[in-house]
Amino acid sequence: MDIMHACRCCLRRPPDKDLTTPYALFGKTEIYADMIKDCFDIHLALDAPGSCGICSACVGRLRDASDFKLQVQRSQAELQALLYKADPVVKSEQTEDNVEDKFVYDVLYEEPILFEQSEIGEMANEVMEQDPLFKSEADDAMSDDDTTAGEENC
């Protein structure tokens, strides 16, 4: 196989999809070049001669990585929301086990914090709205107009 016309991510298989074309999956828009940039901070040179494509195996791996990143972001947002609602008391104590670290910090809460399920859902929605990988219906409509422009780069 000609390496110039292979998947840009693995160089092993022919590309099945374009990296710059918006694709819809379960109501959200995926642009694989943007997902690579957002997940890994890798900027692909899409104006170079050769393939601008990605194979289906790499698409699956990219989706898994993107989903995992979003899961961690949602978890961190939920945790931050829990921590902001608490008024933590910090105490330090010396340990004999660790000579290099002389203090261990424990966060103790004066009382448990209970959230309604709707509050947790709202916090997760806020994170998803701020995440560039989740595009709105309006963005989908705009990106349809840009589809032909993205294809010219390849």
Q: Tokens 């916090």 belong to which residue?
A: 123
Question: What digits encode the pLDDT tens for the residues 107-134?
Answer: 444 444 555 556 666 666 666 666 555 5
pLDDT interval class at 48 (50, 70, 90): confident
The number of distinct structural domains making up the chain is: 1
Q: Which domain holds residue 34?
A: 3-131
CA 57 to CA 9: how far, in whole Å?
10
- Is 149 inside a domain boundary? no
Let me know: does 77 contact 123? Beta carbons within 8 Å. yes
- Is 141 inside a domain boundary? no
Question: Phi/psi at 61 (nearest 5 deg)?
Answer: -65, -40
- Is 11 inside a domain boundary? yes
- Is 142 inside a domain boundary? no
- Is 153 inside a domain boundary? no
- At 51, list the tokens: 């393939």
- Is 73 inside a domain boundary? yes
CA 87 to CA 111: how far, in whole Å?
9
- Is 146 inside a domain boundary? no
Question: Which of 11-25, 37-51, 69-83 is predicted with the least confidence, judged by mean pLDDT?
Answer: 37-51
